[in-house]
Structures are given as C-alpha cells and as structure tokens.
C-alpha cells in the first residue's frame, strides 16, 4: 500500500517542527498535523524563552545532553536565520550562607555537563546588577533569551522548503499500526464547520503532541502507566514588572532551584521588560487564568534577591503548563525520546515529558528523532 508520507508528525510546537525540518532535510516526506489554526499555540509560546546553558540536569541524562547540544545549535541557527535572541548571561544568586553551599553543588553538576559557571562575590554582584542583593552568585555566560515563536517559525520554513506539509486545524485521532505501517485518522476543519476525517498512511509517526503526548501514545496502543509515560500538568504563572518601577536588570536572575521548578526568577524579554515566574502548581486540566492575588507571594519570593519589588509593581502576565513525568513531590524525570520497536510498535517515536529545557533542546531532540528512524 502506498504511503501519503514517510513520516506523520503529530504537533506543530517547536519539537514537532524541529523534527519535521530535520526529517525533511534528510530526504523524508513529512506531514505535520496541528489541531490549532497556527503553529506553536501551546507550551512553545508559554514559557520563559530562556536559552538554557544545561546547568542543573544530572550528568548523562537526556536533558543535560540535549540541552547543551541544542543550545549550541540554537545560537548558530538564530544567527544564520535572523531569529531574535540575546546572550544576556544569568546569575544564580545565594541569599543565605546555606545557599552559598548549594551554589557549589550547582557548579559541580554544571561542570559535569561541560558548562562552566563563574563565581561572583557580593561586591561583584552589586557591581554588575546594582538592584540585586546576594551574598554570592554563579554567572552563566552562555544563558540567553530567544523569540520562541520566531524560532519555531524558522523550523516550519525549513521543513516546508524541503517539501514538508504543515496541516493546521487538523487533529490526529486514531493512530494505529498494521502490517502496512501506520494509519492516522486526521480530522480537519474549523470547530463546528463540518469536520472531515481523512485516513493518512505513513511509514512512521512522531508523537510531539506536548500536553497530549501521553494520550496520543495511549491511542497508538501503549499502556502509558506501565511505560511510565503518564503526564502530570504543572502550571507556572508569570507576573510582569511595571515599567514605572526603578528596578533594572541586564542579566536573568535566578534563586537557587526549588522543588519542581527553578524558583521564581527574573527574566527579560527581548524588549528589556522584566517579568517574574513561573511558580509551580499541579493542576488537572489545561487553563491559563492567573489569580491576581498571587502578586503578594511573588513579590515576597522575589524580594529575597530584589528588595525593590512590591506587590503593586506586579501585574498578571501569562501562564504555561509543564508536561511533567514527575508528579507532586516526585524527583528528577528525564525526557522520553523513544522509538517503540521493543514494545511492538516499530516506527513510533514518542517525545513525552518535554518540559524545560525543551525549547533549548529542540534541535537536538530532532536529531535524535532522525537517528531513531534511520
């Protein structure tokens, strides 16, 4: 039976689009299915837009390896393709003696990942960031910020230039393996406008469905609980700092990491505006509303290292949801980027649990997908 494409990619976030571009570049015919009427409408456009250096992840983990490789490729790609970005650098600040000890552990982990961090004492921190109060800090020169939507668009453009088709408003329903390969039922059309279901045939399927990736894997025939693929949603809210605030920053500023996230940190957007977040709140459904009364808690968390910020300076900005493999109180969980021949489903590549640093790691995840399907 002839195939409509060598590979169907489910999801046009940064991971699906990067995979599509890499596969198309390698000569594969590719169809990307995206249920929304535009690309990158979910987690890819709801994050800190930070180019992570690869500091915190255990040595040998996929997160460490793919973040470091992806970050290098990201800077080169942004330069070559004119995607807005800036190598701001980042300070991880200690505000107590105990946290100074934690910095040493962070520096050791980073070094194992091939990432060099530079120590700064309190006076040096005050010199480079006069508004920040810290007993000491680690400076990460390789950390930066990127226009995440522009970055995702660069992959769409490259994929399409190599013949890939990105089908918007097209949702993957059934995903089934049979002797001829894969069949994906794709429903297209605007909601309520007489949807049409088409059966696509492909040699392989890449599941890059973000928050839905566990459900797509389940539809493809996997017992996701037995595989450890069940996702937990962990919401993160952001508050922006009023432009009238006298606080100014040149670097991203992070506290020492907290459970389930990196702590409420200060990031900059490409326009130089400061925002704080994300916090961590496990939720059971997707929803992006922000409780404005959280401003006081945000200001309190931030005041440890930026004493000049008060609740009245903060306004709810936006929220994102992490597709986490670790539930509340759970420890480190790595990315899953896995070809499922061993589970009887050859040609299915699952990308599951692609939380941070998935934006930074996207090209490296894509390279791995290509090699898994080689």
Give the nearer residue to ligand FAD in terms of CB position, either 78 or 136. Answer: 78
Residues of this chain, 107-146, that bind ligand FAD according to CB under 6 A:
none
Which residue in the set 9, 268, 359, 364 belongs to the binding site for ligand FAD (CB under 6 A)? 359
Among 156, 356, 366, 372, binds ligand FAD (CB under 6 A): 356
Residue 185 Cβ vs ligand FAD, minimum distance, rounded to whole Å: 10
Q: Which is nearer to ligand FAD, 187 or 343 (CB)?
A: 187
- What's the min distance (Å) between Cβ of 26 and ligand FAD? 19
| 3-class DSSP state of 356 | coil
Minimum Å distance from CB 44 to ligand FAD? 3
**Alpha carbon distance 236, 276 (integer Å):** 10
Number of residues that bind ligand FAD (CB under 6 A): 42
Q: Element (H or E) spanning 219, and its range?
A: helix 213-219
- Asked if 31 interacts with ligand FAD (CB under 6 A), we say no
Tokens 């097209």 appear where? 170
For the CB of residue 132, give the shortest distance to ligand FAD in the complex, in Å: 20
**Residue 262 CB, nearest approach to ligand FAD (Å):** 9
End-to-end CA distance of the chain: 21
Q: Which two tokens stand for residue 26?
A: 């390698």
CA distance 110 to 107: 5
How many Cβ atoms from other residues are within 10 Å of residue 116's Cβ? 14
Binding flags for ligand FAD, 333-352, as an x/- string (CB under 6 A): --------------------
16 or 316, CB closer to ligand FAD? Answer: 16
Strand partners, 200: 184
Beta bridge partners of 323: 233
Q: Is 355 in the site for ligand FAD (CB under 6 A)?
A: yes
Length of the chain: 374
**Interface with ligand FAD by CB under 6 A: which range of 75-83, 122-130, 209-217, 325-333?**
209-217
Q: What is the per-residue binding string for ligand FAD in 37-76, x denoting contact by CB under 6 A?
A: ---xxxxx-xxxxx-x------------------------
Question: Residue 341 class from Cβ within 10 Å (0-12 exposed, 13-18 middle, 19+ buried)?
Answer: exposed
CA-nearest of 322, 242, 334 to 288 is 322
Q: Which region, judged by CB under 6 A, interacts with ligand FAD, from 9-17, 53-61, 79-87, 307-315?
A: 9-17
Question: Residue 36 interacts with ligand FAD (CB under 6 A)?
Answer: yes
Long-range interactions of 249-252: CB distance < 8 A, separation 24+: 249/129, 249/131, 249/132, 249/274, 250/88, 250/89, 250/128, 250/129, 251/88, 251/89, 251/90, 251/91, 251/128, 251/129, 251/139, 252/50, 252/88, 252/89, 252/90, 252/91, 252/143, 252/145
CB–CB of 143/52 below 8 Å?
yes
- Angle between helix axes 14-25 and 148-161 (nearest 10 degrees) is 30
In the complex with ligand FAD, which residue's Cβ is closer, 94 or 145? 145
- Nearest in space to 117 (alpha carbons), one of 130, 131, 132, 136: 136
Say whether residue 90 binds ligand FAD (CB under 6 A): no
CB-nearer residue toward ligand FAD: 65 or 355? 355
Looking at 117, 357, 363, 364, which residue binds ligand FAD (CB under 6 A)? 357
Of 142 and 171, CB closest to ligand FAD: 171
CA distances, 266 to each of 257, 276, 329 (Å):
13, 5, 24
Write the binding mask 227 to 266 for ligand FAD: x where contact by CB under 6 A, - elsewhere: ---------x------------------------------
Phi, psi of 343 (to 5 degrees): -105, 15
In whole angstroms, how close is the CB of 238 to ligand FAD at the nearest point?
8
Within positions 145 to 204, which residues make up the interface with ligand FAD, using CB under 6 A?
171-172
Q: Which residues bind ligand FAD (CB under 6 A)?
A: 10-16, 33-36, 40-44, 46-50, 52, 171-172, 208-212, 216, 236, 278, 320-322, 354-360
């Amino acid at each position: 039976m002839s195939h409509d494409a060598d590979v169907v990619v489910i999801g046009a976030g940064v991971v699906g689009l990067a995979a599509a571009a890499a596969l198309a570049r390698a000569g594969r015919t590719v169809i990307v299915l995206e249920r929304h009427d535009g690309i990158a409408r979910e987690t890819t456009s709801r994050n800190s837009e930070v180019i992570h250096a690869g500091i915190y992840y255990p040595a040998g983990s996929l997160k460490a390896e793919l973040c470091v490789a992806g970050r290098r490729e990201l800077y080169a790609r942004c330069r070559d393709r004119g995607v807005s970005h800036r190598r701001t650098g980042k300070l991880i600040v200690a505000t107590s003696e105990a946290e100074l000890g934690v910095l040493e552990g962070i520096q050791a982990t980073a070094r194992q990942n091939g990432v060099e961090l530079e120590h700064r004492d309190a006076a040096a921190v005050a010199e480079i960031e006069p508004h920040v109060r810290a007993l000491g800090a680690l400076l990460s020169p390789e950390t930066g910020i990127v226009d995440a939507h522009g970055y995702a668009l660069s992959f769409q453009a490259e994929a399409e230039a190599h013949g890939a088709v990105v089908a918007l408003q097209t949702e993957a329903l059934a995903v089934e393996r049979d002797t001829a390969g894969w069949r994906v039922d794709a429903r297209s059309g605007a909601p309520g406008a007489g949807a049409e279901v088409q059966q696509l045939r492909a040699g392989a399927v890449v599941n890059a469905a973000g928050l839905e990736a566990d459900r797509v894997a389940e539809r493809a025939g996997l017992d996701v609980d037995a595989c450890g693929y069940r996702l937990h949603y962990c919401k993160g809210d952001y508050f922006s700092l009023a432009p009238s605030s006298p606080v100014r920053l040149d670097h991203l500023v992070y506290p020492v990491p907290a459970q389930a996230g990196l702590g409420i940190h200060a990031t900059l957007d490409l326009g130089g505006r400061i925002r704080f977040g994300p916090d961590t709140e496990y939720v059971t459904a997707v929803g992006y509303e922000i409780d404005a009364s959280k401003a006081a808690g945000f200001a309190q968390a931030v005041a440890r290292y930026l004493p000049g910020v008060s609740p009245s300076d903060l306004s709810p900005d936006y929220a994102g949801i992490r597709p986490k493999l670790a539930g509340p109180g759970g420890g480190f969980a790595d990315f899953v980027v896995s070809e499922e021949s061993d589970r009887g489903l050859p040609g299915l590549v699952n990308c599951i649990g692609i939380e941070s640093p998935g934006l930074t790691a996207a090209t490296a995840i894509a390279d791995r997908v290509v090699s898994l399907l080689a």
